[in-house]
Homo-oligomer: A and B are copies of this chain.
């Protein structure tokens, strides 16, 4: 692994690995592959004044986006869908033109370490060593991803303000679209 030779989004892979350890907590093949996917999407997209990103999984990919782009959960430019799909779309929220990048599932068997890492949740195998998978991702990761220009049906960032009001049960402010009382008082509470 000679990560200094390659970059994702202008960051050397060795720097990216350091930053992912700091932010994500550990070195992750998912963030590495995610970085390559974001780099591809933004490269195809070209200059994008109003960049937004959607990820189609909650796992790993959102952190790669937050490390390599200005898009975060809390500023609303990153939207995370819980679909379990290792895919993302970068787009301009004014133009609604974007590029989606995804994993070509049928190519995975040609790349045994990536394949084992990607499918391990199903087969209950031990994790392959990070360095080994990382090498395969760096060398050959670009061969398992595909990208395509897409048109967004709508911006996924909230553009108008969300009406809020006081919950008559707990007295806290909440988004009125969630119902006549807040979700916690309405039965969705996660705590007692």
Contact = CB atoms under 8 A, between A and B. Distances in A.
Contact of A161 (B66, B122, B178): B122
A161 B105 contact: no
A9 interface: no
A191 B105 CA distance: 20
State the oligomeric state as a number of copies: 2
A73 B105 CA distance: 25
Interface in A138-183: 150-154, 156, 161-164, 166, 171-178, 182-183
A71 to B, nearest CB: 9
A124 to B, nearest CB: 8
A66 B74 contact: yes
Contacts of A151: 191-192
A106 B75 contact: no
Interface string A39-65: 000000000000000101011111110
Interface of A: 23-26, 30-31, 54, 56, 58-64, 66, 70, 72-77, 80-87, 89, 98, 100, 102-103, 105-106, 118, 121-122, 124, 150-154, 156, 161-164, 166, 171-178, 182-184, 189-192
